[in-house]
Amino acid sequence: MSSGNKITLVTGATGFLGRRLCQRLQDEGELIRAVGRKSQDGPWSEFVEIDFAKNGIPEDCLNNVGTIYHLASKAHAIAETPYNADLYRPVIVEGTRKLIGAAERSGVNRFAFFSSVKSMGEGNPTEVPIEEMDETWTHAPQSPYGLAKAEAETIVRKSRMEHAVILRPAMVFGPGEKGNLPRMIEAVKKGRFPPIPENGNKRSMIHVDDLIEFAIRSMQTPIAAGKTYIVSSKSPISTRALYNAIRESLGLPAQDWSIPIFLLKSSAFAGSIIGSLIGKRMPLDVETLGKLTGSAWYSSKLAQRELNYCPKYEVDRWLIDQG
Protein backbone atom coordinates (compact mmCIF):
# COMPACT_ATOMS: atom_id res chain seq x y z
CA MET A 1 0.00 0.00 0.00
CA SER A 2 1.41 3.38 -0.95
CA SER A 3 0.42 6.51 0.92
CA GLY A 4 2.53 9.01 -0.99
CA ASN A 5 4.36 11.27 1.42
CA LYS A 6 2.08 10.36 4.30
CA ILE A 7 3.62 8.58 7.30
CA THR A 8 2.30 5.37 8.82
CA LEU A 9 2.48 5.30 12.61
CA VAL A 10 2.77 1.96 14.43
CA THR A 11 2.45 1.81 18.22
CA GLY A 12 3.87 -1.20 20.04
CA ALA A 13 6.36 -1.36 17.18
CA THR A 14 9.10 -3.20 19.07
CA GLY A 15 6.92 -6.21 19.94
CA PHE A 16 6.65 -9.53 18.14
CA LEU A 17 3.73 -8.42 15.97
CA GLY A 18 4.64 -4.74 15.68
CA ARG A 19 8.15 -5.32 14.37
CA ARG A 20 6.92 -7.78 11.76
CA LEU A 21 4.18 -5.36 10.68
CA CYS A 22 6.71 -2.53 10.35
CA GLN A 23 8.96 -4.73 8.22
CA ARG A 24 6.08 -5.62 5.90
CA LEU A 25 5.01 -1.97 5.56
CA GLN A 26 8.56 -0.79 4.98
CA ASP A 27 9.03 -3.47 2.30
CA GLU A 28 6.00 -1.98 0.56
CA GLY A 29 7.54 1.50 0.55
CA GLU A 30 5.83 2.99 3.59
CA LEU A 31 7.47 5.66 5.73
CA ILE A 32 7.23 4.26 9.25
CA ARG A 33 7.15 6.23 12.49
CA ALA A 34 7.48 3.68 15.28
CA VAL A 35 6.22 4.24 18.83
CA GLY A 36 7.40 2.33 21.88
CA ARG A 37 8.49 2.71 25.47
CA LYS A 38 12.21 2.56 24.66
CA SER A 39 13.93 3.50 21.42
CA GLN A 40 15.30 0.61 19.37
CA ASP A 41 16.68 0.07 15.91
CA GLY A 42 14.29 -1.59 13.53
CA PRO A 43 12.43 -1.39 10.21
CA TRP A 44 11.38 2.23 10.61
CA SER A 45 12.69 5.67 9.73
CA GLU A 46 11.66 7.40 12.98
CA PHE A 47 11.10 6.36 16.58
CA VAL A 48 9.08 8.17 19.25
CA GLU A 49 9.37 7.10 22.89
CA ILE A 50 5.95 7.01 24.59
CA ASP A 51 4.84 5.09 27.65
CA PHE A 52 1.06 5.09 27.20
CA ALA A 53 0.54 4.38 30.90
CA LYS A 54 2.38 7.56 31.91
CA ASN A 55 2.81 9.96 28.99
CA GLY A 56 0.63 12.11 26.82
CA ILE A 57 1.01 12.20 23.04
CA PRO A 58 3.66 14.73 21.90
CA GLU A 59 2.20 17.50 19.75
CA ASP A 60 4.29 16.63 16.71
CA CYS A 61 3.96 12.84 16.99
CA LEU A 62 1.14 12.68 14.45
CA ASN A 63 2.44 15.31 12.02
CA ASN A 64 1.82 14.13 8.45
CA VAL A 65 0.46 10.76 9.64
CA GLY A 66 -2.17 9.19 7.39
CA THR A 67 -2.64 5.77 9.02
CA ILE A 68 -2.22 4.45 12.56
CA TYR A 69 -1.83 0.80 13.53
CA HIS A 70 -2.38 0.76 17.29
CA LEU A 71 -0.78 -2.35 18.80
CA ALA A 72 0.52 -0.92 22.08
CA SER A 73 -0.96 -2.97 24.89
CA LYS A 74 -0.16 -4.92 28.02
CA ALA A 75 0.09 -8.68 27.67
CA HIS A 76 -2.51 -10.55 29.67
CA ALA A 77 -1.43 -12.75 32.55
CA ILE A 78 -1.95 -16.51 32.41
CA ALA A 79 -3.91 -16.34 35.67
CA GLU A 80 -5.95 -13.21 36.31
CA THR A 81 -8.02 -11.96 39.20
CA PRO A 82 -10.42 -9.00 39.32
CA TYR A 83 -7.63 -7.06 41.03
CA ASN A 84 -5.63 -7.15 37.78
CA ALA A 85 -7.95 -4.57 36.20
CA ASP A 86 -5.76 -1.63 37.21
CA LEU A 87 -2.81 -3.24 35.40
CA TYR A 88 -4.52 -3.03 32.01
CA ARG A 89 -6.61 0.14 31.95
CA PRO A 90 -3.77 2.73 31.94
CA VAL A 91 -2.27 1.35 28.71
CA ILE A 92 -5.16 -0.33 26.93
CA VAL A 93 -8.01 2.05 27.78
CA GLU A 94 -6.47 5.41 28.66
CA GLY A 95 -3.62 4.98 26.18
CA THR A 96 -6.13 4.36 23.39
CA ARG A 97 -8.20 7.35 24.53
CA LYS A 98 -5.13 9.62 24.37
CA LEU A 99 -4.14 8.36 20.91
CA ILE A 100 -7.66 8.66 19.48
CA GLY A 101 -7.92 12.24 20.75
CA ALA A 102 -4.55 13.18 19.26
CA ALA A 103 -5.44 11.48 15.97
CA GLU A 104 -8.72 13.37 15.70
CA ARG A 105 -7.01 16.71 16.41
CA SER A 106 -4.35 15.94 13.79
CA GLY A 107 -6.82 14.89 11.10
CA VAL A 108 -5.72 11.25 10.84
CA ASN A 109 -8.34 9.33 8.89
CA ARG A 110 -7.27 5.69 9.12
CA PHE A 111 -6.93 3.78 12.37
CA ALA A 112 -6.55 0.04 12.99
CA PHE A 113 -6.99 -1.05 16.60
CA PHE A 114 -5.59 -4.45 17.53
CA SER A 115 -7.99 -5.77 20.13
CA SER A 116 -8.52 -9.45 21.04
CA VAL A 117 -11.17 -12.14 20.89
CA LYS A 118 -11.08 -11.91 24.68
CA SER A 119 -13.00 -8.63 24.36
CA MET A 120 -16.09 -10.66 23.43
CA GLY A 121 -15.87 -13.42 26.03
CA GLU A 122 -15.10 -17.07 25.46
CA GLY A 123 -18.47 -18.77 25.77
CA ASN A 124 -18.35 -21.79 28.06
CA PRO A 125 -14.76 -23.01 27.78
CA THR A 126 -15.58 -26.28 29.57
CA GLU A 127 -17.92 -27.41 26.80
CA VAL A 128 -17.25 -28.27 23.16
CA PRO A 129 -19.28 -25.65 21.23
CA ILE A 130 -21.81 -26.54 18.58
CA GLU A 131 -20.77 -23.64 16.38
CA GLU A 132 -18.05 -21.03 16.24
CA MET A 133 -18.50 -17.56 17.69
CA ASP A 134 -18.68 -14.62 15.30
CA GLU A 135 -19.00 -10.84 15.59
CA THR A 136 -22.65 -11.14 16.65
CA TRP A 137 -21.66 -12.87 19.92
CA THR A 138 -23.07 -10.71 22.71
CA HIS A 139 -21.64 -12.27 25.88
CA ALA A 140 -19.55 -10.03 28.10
CA PRO A 141 -15.78 -10.49 28.40
CA GLN A 142 -14.73 -12.63 31.33
CA SER A 143 -11.29 -11.28 32.28
CA PRO A 144 -9.82 -7.91 33.28
CA TYR A 145 -7.78 -7.95 30.06
CA GLY A 146 -10.87 -8.65 27.96
CA LEU A 147 -12.85 -5.96 29.77
CA ALA A 148 -10.10 -3.41 29.09
CA LYS A 149 -9.98 -4.33 25.41
CA ALA A 150 -13.77 -4.05 25.15
CA GLU A 151 -13.71 -0.59 26.75
CA ALA A 152 -10.99 0.53 24.35
CA GLU A 153 -13.05 -0.78 21.42
CA THR A 154 -15.90 1.50 22.49
CA ILE A 155 -13.55 4.48 22.40
CA VAL A 156 -12.49 3.57 18.86
CA ARG A 157 -16.10 3.12 17.69
CA LYS A 158 -17.05 6.57 18.98
CA SER A 159 -14.15 8.29 17.24
CA ARG A 160 -14.70 10.80 14.46
CA MET A 161 -12.20 9.22 12.11
CA GLU A 162 -13.52 8.25 8.71
CA HIS A 163 -11.92 4.80 8.59
CA ALA A 164 -11.47 3.17 12.01
CA VAL A 165 -11.33 -0.64 12.16
CA ILE A 166 -11.21 -3.02 15.13
CA LEU A 167 -9.38 -6.32 14.72
CA ARG A 168 -9.96 -9.17 17.16
CA PRO A 169 -7.24 -11.75 16.61
CA ALA A 170 -7.33 -15.22 18.10
CA MET A 171 -4.10 -16.52 19.65
CA VAL A 172 -1.25 -15.43 17.39
CA PHE A 173 1.55 -17.81 16.43
CA GLY A 174 4.62 -17.51 14.24
CA PRO A 175 8.42 -17.12 14.31
CA GLY A 176 9.64 -15.18 17.32
CA GLU A 177 6.40 -15.45 19.31
CA LYS A 178 6.98 -15.90 23.06
CA GLY A 179 3.55 -16.77 24.40
CA ASN A 180 1.60 -19.92 25.20
CA LEU A 181 2.57 -21.97 22.13
CA PRO A 182 6.36 -21.77 22.72
CA ARG A 183 5.75 -22.66 26.37
CA MET A 184 3.75 -25.70 25.29
CA ILE A 185 6.45 -26.72 22.81
CA GLU A 186 9.12 -26.47 25.51
CA ALA A 187 7.00 -28.53 27.91
CA VAL A 188 6.44 -31.24 25.30
CA LYS A 189 10.16 -31.24 24.46
CA LYS A 190 11.06 -31.79 28.13
CA GLY A 191 8.39 -34.43 28.67
CA ARG A 192 6.42 -32.22 31.04
CA PHE A 193 3.22 -31.93 29.01
CA PRO A 194 0.72 -34.74 29.64
CA PRO A 195 -0.70 -36.63 26.64
CA ILE A 196 -4.24 -35.44 27.22
CA PRO A 197 -7.10 -37.35 25.59
CA GLU A 198 -8.77 -36.18 22.40
CA ASN A 199 -12.06 -34.59 23.45
CA GLY A 200 -12.81 -32.67 20.26
CA ASN A 201 -12.26 -29.22 21.76
CA LYS A 202 -11.71 -26.41 19.27
CA ARG A 203 -9.09 -23.67 19.62
CA SER A 204 -8.73 -20.87 17.07
CA MET A 205 -5.33 -19.42 16.19
CA ILE A 206 -3.88 -17.06 13.56
CA HIS A 207 -0.42 -16.83 12.01
CA VAL A 208 1.27 -13.47 12.46
CA ASP A 209 1.63 -12.93 8.70
CA ASP A 210 -2.05 -13.70 8.07
CA LEU A 211 -3.01 -11.21 10.80
CA ILE A 212 -0.78 -8.56 9.23
CA GLU A 213 -2.34 -9.17 5.83
CA PHE A 214 -5.83 -8.77 7.29
CA ALA A 215 -4.78 -5.55 9.05
CA ILE A 216 -3.32 -3.99 5.91
CA ARG A 217 -6.33 -4.94 3.84
CA SER A 218 -8.63 -3.46 6.48
CA MET A 219 -6.95 -0.09 5.87
CA GLN A 220 -7.23 -0.45 2.08
CA THR A 221 -10.83 -1.68 1.80
CA PRO A 222 -13.60 0.98 1.93
CA ILE A 223 -16.25 -1.44 3.23
CA ALA A 224 -14.11 -2.08 6.34
CA ALA A 225 -14.63 1.45 7.69
CA GLY A 226 -16.29 1.29 11.10
CA LYS A 227 -16.25 -2.52 11.17
CA THR A 228 -15.09 -5.04 13.76
CA TYR A 229 -13.48 -8.24 12.51
CA ILE A 230 -12.52 -11.49 14.19
CA VAL A 231 -9.27 -12.73 12.69
CA SER A 232 -8.49 -16.45 12.87
CA SER A 233 -7.26 -19.21 10.60
CA LYS A 234 -9.71 -21.29 8.58
CA SER A 235 -9.82 -24.30 10.89
CA PRO A 236 -9.65 -24.69 14.67
CA ILE A 237 -7.47 -27.33 16.28
CA SER A 238 -7.92 -29.53 19.34
CA THR A 239 -5.32 -29.50 22.08
CA ARG A 240 -4.51 -33.16 21.43
CA ALA A 241 -4.01 -32.52 17.70
CA LEU A 242 -1.75 -29.59 18.56
CA TYR A 243 0.20 -31.84 20.97
CA ASN A 244 0.63 -34.44 18.22
CA ALA A 245 1.83 -31.82 15.72
CA ILE A 246 4.36 -30.49 18.23
CA ARG A 247 5.76 -33.97 18.82
CA GLU A 248 6.08 -34.53 15.08
CA SER A 249 7.79 -31.16 14.62
CA LEU A 250 10.30 -32.09 17.35
CA GLY A 251 11.02 -35.47 15.74
CA LEU A 252 9.47 -37.31 18.70
CA PRO A 253 7.56 -40.57 18.20
CA ALA A 254 3.78 -40.43 18.16
CA GLN A 255 1.99 -41.18 21.43
CA ASP A 256 -0.90 -43.60 21.02
CA TRP A 257 -2.01 -43.34 24.63
CA SER A 258 -3.39 -40.62 26.86
CA ILE A 259 -3.92 -39.95 30.54
CA PRO A 260 -7.56 -40.59 31.48
CA ILE A 261 -9.48 -37.40 32.01
CA PHE A 262 -10.55 -38.40 35.53
CA LEU A 263 -6.90 -38.63 36.56
CA LEU A 264 -6.18 -35.22 35.03
CA LYS A 265 -9.15 -33.71 36.86
CA SER A 266 -8.03 -35.25 40.15
CA SER A 267 -4.49 -33.96 39.67
CA ALA A 268 -5.77 -30.51 38.68
CA PHE A 269 -8.01 -30.35 41.75
CA ALA A 270 -5.09 -31.34 43.98
CA GLY A 271 -2.91 -28.73 42.25
CA SER A 272 -5.46 -26.02 43.00
CA ILE A 273 -5.67 -27.03 46.67
CA ILE A 274 -1.89 -27.13 47.08
CA GLY A 275 -1.50 -23.84 45.24
CA SER A 276 -3.97 -22.10 47.53
CA LEU A 277 -2.15 -23.45 50.59
CA ILE A 278 1.35 -22.40 49.55
CA GLY A 279 0.37 -19.25 47.64
CA LYS A 280 1.92 -20.43 44.37
CA ARG A 281 0.35 -21.89 41.26
CA MET A 282 1.07 -25.50 40.42
CA PRO A 283 1.92 -26.56 36.84
CA LEU A 284 -1.50 -28.23 36.63
CA ASP A 285 -4.57 -26.84 38.39
CA VAL A 286 -8.26 -26.57 37.61
CA GLU A 287 -7.90 -23.36 35.61
CA THR A 288 -5.02 -24.69 33.51
CA LEU A 289 -6.83 -27.93 32.74
CA GLY A 290 -9.91 -25.95 31.73
CA LYS A 291 -7.87 -24.02 29.19
CA LEU A 292 -6.28 -27.21 27.85
CA THR A 293 -9.51 -29.14 27.42
CA GLY A 294 -11.92 -26.27 26.73
CA SER A 295 -12.74 -24.47 23.51
CA ALA A 296 -12.21 -20.98 22.14
CA TRP A 297 -13.57 -21.26 18.60
CA TYR A 298 -13.98 -18.08 16.55
CA SER A 299 -15.11 -17.40 12.99
CA SER A 300 -13.24 -15.04 10.67
CA LYS A 301 -15.65 -15.59 7.77
CA LEU A 302 -16.73 -11.93 7.75
CA ALA A 303 -13.13 -10.74 7.48
CA GLN A 304 -12.34 -13.33 4.81
CA ARG A 305 -15.37 -12.29 2.76
CA GLU A 306 -15.14 -8.51 3.07
CA LEU A 307 -11.35 -8.21 2.98
CA ASN A 308 -11.04 -10.81 0.21
CA TYR A 309 -8.35 -12.86 1.92
CA CYS A 310 -8.07 -16.47 2.98
CA PRO A 311 -5.51 -17.29 5.69
CA LYS A 312 -2.55 -19.25 4.37
CA TYR A 313 -1.36 -20.95 7.54
CA GLU A 314 -2.73 -23.63 9.88
CA VAL A 315 -0.78 -24.14 13.08
CA ASP A 316 -0.32 -27.93 12.83
CA ARG A 317 1.02 -27.82 9.27
CA TRP A 318 3.18 -24.79 10.07
CA LEU A 319 4.74 -26.54 13.07
CA ILE A 320 5.54 -29.66 11.09
CA ASP A 321 7.00 -27.64 8.21
CA GLN A 322 9.14 -25.63 10.65
CA GLY A 323 10.41 -28.80 12.29
Percentage of the chain beyond pLDDT 70 is: 93
Determine contact, residues 253/159, Cβ cutoff 8 Å.
no
Assess whether pLDDT exceeds 80 at residue 72: yes
Q: pLDDT (tens digit, 9 = 90+) per residue, 278-297?
A: 999 888 899 889 889 989 99
Confidence of residue 111 (pLDDT cuts 50, 70, 90): very high
Measure the CA–CA gap between 184 and 165, rounded to whole angstroms: 32
Q: Which alpha helices (DSSP H) does 142-258 contain, by range?
A: 144-157, 180-189, 208-220, 239-249
**What structural domains does the chain harbor?**
7-177+204-237+297-322 (3.40.50.720)
Q: pLDDT (tens digit, 9 = 90+) per residue, 237-275?
A: 999 999 999 999 999 999 999 999 999 999 999 999 999
What is the mean pLDDT of the segment spanning 195-216? Answer: 96
Q: pLDDT (tens digit, 9 = 90+) per residue, 125-176?
A: 555 566 789 999 877 888 899 999 999 999 999 999 999 999 999 999 999 8
191: left (phi over 0), alpha (psi -120 to 50) or beta: left
Determine contact, residues 217/24, Cβ cutoff 8 Å.
no
Lowest mean pLDDT among 57-61, 206-210, 218-222: 57-61
Query: What does the pLDDT read at residue 266?
Result: 95
Measure the CA–CA gap between 284 and 198, rounded to whole angstroms: 18
Measured between its terminal Cα atoms, the distance across the chain in Å is 33
Confidence of residue 84 (pLDDT cuts 50, 70, 90): low
| Residue 117 DSSP one-character state | G
Question: Where is pLDDT greater, at 250 or 86?
Answer: 250
Determine contact, residues 65/7, Cβ cutoff 8 Å.
yes
Nearest-CA neighbor of 201 among 292, 299, 315? 292
- Phi/psi of residue 130, nearest 5 degrees: -80, -35
Query: What does the pLDDT read at residue 3?
Result: 44
Query: What does the pLDDT read at residue 2?
Result: 37
Confidence of residue 76 (pLDDT cuts 50, 70, 90): low
Q: Mind spelling out the 3-state secondary structure of 255-286?
A: CCCCCCHHHHHHHHHHHHHHHHHHCCCCCCCH
